[in-house]
Chain A
């Protein structure tokens, strides 16, 4: 009797396995799963530009759902310990709190993790040095990067093809008929769709700009210095590189954090590596300051722990290098003015988007 039940169990197990582990040659059919994509109703903040979505990857609820799972799922790393979210933590504005992010092998890179909030609105090149053009291209990279998820796509796709969850999610997102059609390109499209809807635009500064909220006197003074509005206060010049509404121009600039005697001397050449123009050495993308109080340490190499250190840096006029931006010069701010500038930086905080059910971690 015991033996019989064991055999039955084994048979069941075999059948079960067969249905979830697709034959690598013929795959398994997915047509029994319903495919009826729903377009996603985007809530774009009033002041924001249009979100530009590639025509071959329109936003759907189902793609975002697949992307959300992939983003938070440690299945993406070789040893199933890390996901995208390990370095892009929602509660830290999708960054981590490290100067240099560490991958699964404990090896740290030489750049600090970037916030992916509002990343769908950035079109001048992604990463600190602009080396990736689109989210679809970018999403392919971390999986195989040895200092990130250190996996390889063929093996990852095999794992995804044998997962019932992903069989269903890929079918619902892309209407594919067979597991063999599950590809890394589709995975990247789904991850990109998820990233595009991580939008934060309901901070105090937004409500102030839309005339539905006010700033305190301190914040207002910070605002006026940030955007050089009040001739009676020092110009802090910040708004030239961190402009409203995205709080960035996404331009590549040298904001004076590195000392260099000549253009070849920068420890990290940044944008210059991409363009080949020596005048671009030591330039990095001006990042958005939205939710900035959550995303320390600061700069591409995480050199500043606090916002106060950042303000001290700008106030000092920065370190000398041949192409240091002319907007970086000693500002002459008083301690009170530094406080006010810092208070203004805090008006860019918004965590309301984190509660959206299409953004939260599906595995929690």
Chain B
């Protein structure tokens, strides 16, 4: 009897001792253009003409914290969307946040995520999900590719007549164009506090060729054929280059 009691007591103590300590990780996405906050619908200079962005959003997946070779998964998939934040300067400065609770406390040496939908999930369709799941968005599935649309970037450019009548639109997708981005820096998650990592996405860099030249948006404005190396390959590779981290 006494023995049983001791066993119970030690079990209880053990449980208290081993209760995981957790904190919160906030990923704050800041859309920018040439160093300034990106404001949708406002004019920006591109090459020798002007652009207006109206849409910028993408899937982010396999979000994880790394420590050496060990990986702590934070979230399988989520969605970053500047539509409802970046229509004013204030909104653009505050950015779009994804907040994750219950992250194991400790020191990590990196943050890693994919831009797009990983191949396994990309075999599914929006109708496989309930409406509260980010993969349920019918507007982000492209039947002709059998793939989710990983990212959408759209806006208008000033044409020769000097008006913003014509649009540009780049959709990325398909398994080959799934890319991963990793940032290596110290991240510490502390109990009952929030660690904020700012992830800056430079939209000018997104639309430039690898050699830094401007891309001819006016003449290639709506191409979304995934096998076309330009602009989609350019764009998906740019997503990793255009992203920088700040803590």
A-side residues, CB < 8 A to B, are: 47-50, 52, 123, 227-229, 231, 239-241, 243-246, 248-251, 263, 275, 277-279, 320, 322-329
Contacts and interface: CB of A to CB of B under 8 A. Distances in A.
Contacts of B169: 326-327
Given A279-B41, A322-B164, A244 B143 contact: yes
Q: Tell me whether chain B's interface is mostly helix, strand or loop, or mixed.
A: mixed
B163 interface: yes
A23 B87 CA distance: 57
B139 A279 contact: no
Given A49-B128, A243-B138, 17 more contacts: A49-B127, A50-B130, A123-B131, A229-B144, A239-B142, A239-B143, A244-B143, A246-B138, A248-B138, A250-B138, A279-B41, A279-B87, A324-B167, A326-B168, A326-B169, A326-B222, A327-B167
A248 B131 CA distance: 14
A251 B130 CA distance: 16
A323 B41 contact: yes
Contact of B127 (A47, A326, A329): A47
Contacts of A50: 130
Contacts of A322: 41, 52, 164
A279 B164 CA distance: 15
A100 to B, nearest CB: 28
Contacts of A243: 138-139, 141, 143
13 contacts: A49-B128, A227-B144, A228-B224, A239-B144, A243-B138, A243-B139, A243-B141, A243-B143, A248-B138, A249-B139, A263-B41, A278-B87, A323-B54
Q: Considering the complex of A and B, which 4 residue pairs feature the smallest CB-CB distances, nearest first?
A: A326-B167, A249-B139, A49-B127, A123-B131
A244 B141 CA distance: 10
Nearest to A243: B138
Interface of B: 40-41, 52, 54, 83-84, 87, 126-131, 136-139, 141-144, 154-156, 163-169, 221-222, 224-225
Contacts of B166: 326, 329
Given A279-B41, A279-B54, A52 B167 contact: no
A246 B125 CA distance: 13
A326 B54 contact: yes
Most buried by B among A123, A246, A320, A326: A326
Contacts of A241: 139
A249 B165 contact: no
Nearest to A224: B144
A228 B171 CA distance: 13
A326 B144 contact: no
A197 to B, nearest CB: 18
Nearest to A275: B84
Contact of B40 (A123, A229, A251, A279): A279
A245 B138 CA distance: 9
Nearest to B140: A249
A288 B134 CA distance: 21
A277 B130 CA distance: 27
Nearest to A123: B131
A49 B156 contact: no
Contacts of B137: 249
A243 B142 CA distance: 9
Contacts of A240: 139, 142
Contacts of A320: 163, 165
Nearest to B156: A326
Given A50-B130, A320-B163, A326 B143 contact: no
Contact of B139 (A231, A251, A275): A251
Contacts of B128: 49
Given A250-B138, A320-B163, A227 B127 contact: no
Given A227-B144, A279-B87, A49 B167 contact: no
B220 to A, nearest CB: 13
A279 B83 CA distance: 9
B87 A277 contact: yes
B131 A52 contact: yes
Given A243-B141, A249-B138, A231 B131 contact: no
Contacts of B141: 243
Most buried by A among B41, B127, B130, B141: B127
A29 to B, nearest CB: 41
Contacts of A327: 167, 169, 222
Nearest to A48: B127
A1 B50 CA distance: 98
A275 to B, nearest CB: 7
B55 to A, nearest CB: 8
Contacts of B136: 49
A324 B54 CA distance: 10
Contacts of B130: 49-50, 52
B226 to A, nearest CB: 12
A125 to B, nearest CB: 11
Contacts of B129: 49
Contacts of A52: 130-131
B126 to A, nearest CB: 7
Contacts of B165: 320
